[in-house]
Amino acid sequence: MNDTLFPKPVVEDDRLPRIHQLLLDFYGKPKPRELWDPLTQFIYSLLSSRTKSETTLAAVHRLRERFGTWENLRDAPLAEIEATIGDINFPEQKAINLKASLQQISARYGMLTLDFLASYRTDKIRAWLEQFPGVGPKTSGAVVNFSVLRRRALCLDSHHLRIVQRLGLVRHGDVAVTEERLMRIVPESWDAAMLDEDHVLIKKHGQEICTFSDPKCSRCPLLSMCPYGQRQVSASSSTSQGRRDIE
């Protein structure tokens, strides 16, 4: 996605930098990411949906150990791939998508690599990646932002989507629409590494405080900026007050 296509607001929206700073103060600075080649990042990201990072990482290591090269992985029987990634979520469908994607990359480029994408514009890379099975804007965003390509993009996982909606930054929309709207208010000064750091902080917040079913709003560093959280806290204090009145 080329964020230069999206006009910035006339008045600078400072919500993202404020959120980022509050999360930095709360969680500390994340460790710098080890940047992988685009193909390894692609394989990781294709396997990662609805699965913990440690589990996905272990599955990628097992694939490498068992097959030796990504070409051998591409040519392996589906059942063997599925068995190797059996502890991630949806292994059957992910094995199908992974093998088909690796075959299609090889067929289109003539060999199994994504290194050539380094010479493409970011929006072209993402469109190219999103033609493969199971690859949407989340995976393409991860490949361009987290790998050695290191382009400006947001990788929006389910934590990120939930939190920006609760914060009222983007009210509705799928991954592509949400990324487009957020990129309009991302400061120009945020480079690829800063967008990555923001992703890591938001994901951590989604795992630890702003969880899907039980957000801990009263302990949240973002409460002063969060309409959803303020409603939750106020509803829970009215309930407690009601109970005290009855007692």
6 vs 123: CA distance, rounded Å: 13
Q: What b-and-e string marks burial along 156-192, b requiring 16 or more CB atoms within 10 Å of the CB?
A: bbebbbbbbebbebbeebebbebbbbbbebbeeebeb
Task: Confirm or reject binding of residue 91 to ligand SF4 (CB under 6 A).
Answer: no
- The correct pick among 3, 92, 210, 246 for binding ligand SF4 (CB under 6 A) is 210
Residue of the chain from 94, 138, 166, 199 that contacts ligand SF4 (CB under 6 A): 166
- Residue, CB closest to ligand SF4: 229
Tell me the closest approach of the beta carbon of residue 159 to ligand SF4, in angstroms: 10
Size of the site for ligand SF4 (CB under 6 A): 14
List the one residue from 73, 153, 161, 222 that touches ligand SF4 (CB under 6 A).
Answer: 222
Smallest gap, in angstroms, from Cβ of residue 174 to ligand SF4? Answer: 20
Q: Does 74 bind ligand SF4 (CB under 6 A)?
A: no
Please report, as ranges, the residues that interact with ligand SF4 according to CB under 6 A: 163, 166-167, 209-210, 215-217, 220, 222-223, 226, 228-229
